[in-house]
Amino acid sequence: MTTGLIVFAHGSRIESANDGVRSVAGQLAELGSFRHVAPAFLELGQPDLAGAVDRLAQQGVERIVVIPYFLTLGLHLERDLPQIVAAVAAAHSSLEILVTPPLEGHPALVPILLERAREALTD
């Protein structure tokens, strides 16, 4: 089964922030074992989740893993994302769509924060 990834972020009026999410999606495609990776935005950025799913479906993807690029489980992930995924899944009944938890709680997060603190102290 061909699997694609979607890096799902909030989106920003600051386009460089949206470009940062696009860059992360590109790096996942380059470094990971997934050929089909796309960014998607809740608002203030393009494509939205439905557009990213459409794009991956056109590439022959049969399963999509949506990776929220959010630190915590807030209103957008608890309410908005499930509603959007349900609507997209209804429009693409042949696709399997899975959603991962947010970044909070991942064991790599605390070491990254410590690294940032050390970087600030050595500047």
d(CA 98, CA 4): 10
| Residue in the block written with tokens 């600030």 | 120
pLDDT of residue 75: 87
DSSP-derived letter for residue 32 is S
* pLDDT on residue 120: 95
CB atoms under 10 Å from CB of 79, counted, come to 10
Alpha helices in 3-108, H assignment, sequence order: 15-31, 49-58, 75, 81-91
Question: For residue 113, what pLDDT is reported?
Answer: 94
Tell me whether the omega of the peptide bond preceding residue 47 falls within 30 degrees of 0, making it cis: yes
pLDDT per position as a tens digit, 20-60: 999 999 999 999 889 999 999 999 999 999 999 999 999 99
Q: Would you call 27 helix, strand, or coil by DSSP?
A: helix
Please state the domain extents for the chain: 3-122
- The CATH architecture that domain 3-122 belongs to is 3-Layer(aba) Sandwich (3.40)
- For the entire predicted model, the pTM comes to 0.92
Which amino acid appears at position 88 of this protein? Answer: V
